[in-house]
Amino acid sequence: MQQNERTEISEFGEFGLIEHLTKNNEITQAGTLLSVGDDAAVIDQFGKQMVVSTDLLIEGIHFDLMYTPLKHLGYKAVAVNLSDIYAMFATPTHITMSIGISNKFSVEALEEFYEGVYAACQKYNVDLIGGDTSSCQKGFIISVTAIGEVAPDKYVTRSGAKVNDLICVSGNLGAAYLGLQLLEREKKIFLENPGIQPDLEDQSYLIRRILKPEPRAEIVEWLQENNITPTSMIDISDGLSSELLHICKSSNVGCVLYEGKIPFHPDTEKMALEFLLDRTSCALSGGEDYELLFTIKQEDYEIMKTNAHISVIGYITEKEKGTYMLSKGGNNHKLIAQGWNAFS
């Protein structure tokens, strides 16, 4: 928030505020026929199929403004929705942004939030084409709808994994969870002792993973360029374990996950040690990594292994064989939604 200025939203009124927040809105998609300013937007899909996803973010439940800069929040609100579109193997093209705002927010605060929204739109080449604005009694409520396009019948669901398919994941896991632990620790220290400045300098990677996640656009593009169509795909918002179980349940299959193959960033490994947390647990149950989890046919392995940003972490089995993780110690653990069952 800018220090000295505070413009009350009431000075603008609802329509004035919408106009103010969207006056520099740039349209880049050829398919955007009508954008902000009418009763609805109009999109030409040029013969493609449309993919739609929506998310609700509520202050105190999904984000904490004590350590979330509004610009990052605007960016993340868009990014996590685009991640859902990429997880369908589609390309995002448009978003709508709806906000419920209490009177603790000034126009300057909302400008900052929209800076983040526009930054994400620009980076991922999507148009903001509308939304809704309302007051609410407390806090901040954000709802984003993302729209994407895909060639006819080329979208990828959670339900297509087949026995012997390889399980792949992009990037690395557990970083966002450790970033969150760091922010929570600093918040606690600050609340107990407001004089102490947070010491987060060396942890920029982990902090960025939680505050400013990036949807894995380049993974989807790479797969498409290399003619690899995953048999199933999902993005990791709740943790590897829960997402893999979604794929197995929807696809009616089982799985073997190799603990030793789960990818980690060196900062994640270091911080897990510092917090006395098991890094595997951070990957399985932490969530918010927004990496892509997908399955491919065995025949695509030769090409897949040339991409350093994709790890093969297991394979799909018959449903009757269950859903297991093979630990580094060689034991079989049954996967459960929150991690794995250490007693089986």
Whole-number minimum distance, CB 2 to ligand ADP, in Å? 20
Q: Which of 174, 314, 172 is nearest to 244 (CA)?
A: 314
Report the amino acid identity of residue 13. Answer: G
Binding partner of residue 260 among ligand ADP, Mg ion, none, CB cut-off 5 to 8 Å per kind: none
Binding partner of residue 130 among Mg ion, ligand ADP, none, CB cut-off 5 to 8 Å per kind: ligand ADP
> For residue 241, which phi and psi values (nearest 5 degrees)?
-60, -55
In whole angstroms, give the CA distance from residue 267 to residue 172: 11
Binding partner of residue 131 among ligand ADP, Mg ion, none, CB cut-off 5 to 8 Å per kind: ligand ADP
Q: Taking the CB of residue 108, how many other CB atoms lie within 10 A of it?
A: 16
Residue 163 burial (10 A CB sphere; 0-12, 13-18, 19+): middle
132 vs 274, beta carbon nearer Mg ion: 132
Given the rule CB under 6 A, which of 3-11, 48-56, 127-135, 328-336 is the region that contacts ligand ADP?
127-135
In whole angstroms, give the CA distance from residue 200 to residue 110: 26
Given the rule CB under 6 A, which of 126-134, 171-179, 243-251, 264-272 is the region that contacts ligand ADP?
126-134
Q: Which of 4, 23, 30, 39 binds ligand ADP (CB under 6 A)?
A: 39
Please give the residues from 60 up to 99 whose contact with ligand ADP meets the rule CB under 6 A.
97, 99
> For residue 209, which phi and psi values (nearest 5 degrees)?
-65, -30
| Bridge partner residues of 314 (DSSP) | 167, 257
Given the rule CB under 6 A, which of 44-52, 125-133, 213-221, 257-265 is the region that contacts ligand ADP?
125-133
In whole angstroms, give the CA distance from residue 292 to residue 237: 9
Report the amino acid identity of residue 186. Answer: E
Q: Which of 132, 202, 221, 318 binds Mg ion (CB under 5 A)?
A: 132
Q: Which of 54, 48, 135 is nearest to 99 (CA)?
A: 135
Whole-number minimum distance, CB 102 to ligand ADP, in Å? 15
Q: Which of 130, 148, 215, 239 binds ligand ADP (CB under 6 A)?
A: 130
Contacts with Mg ion by CB under 5 A lie at 132
- Contact positions toward ligand ADP, by CB under 6 A? 15, 18, 21-22, 36-39, 97, 99, 128, 130-133
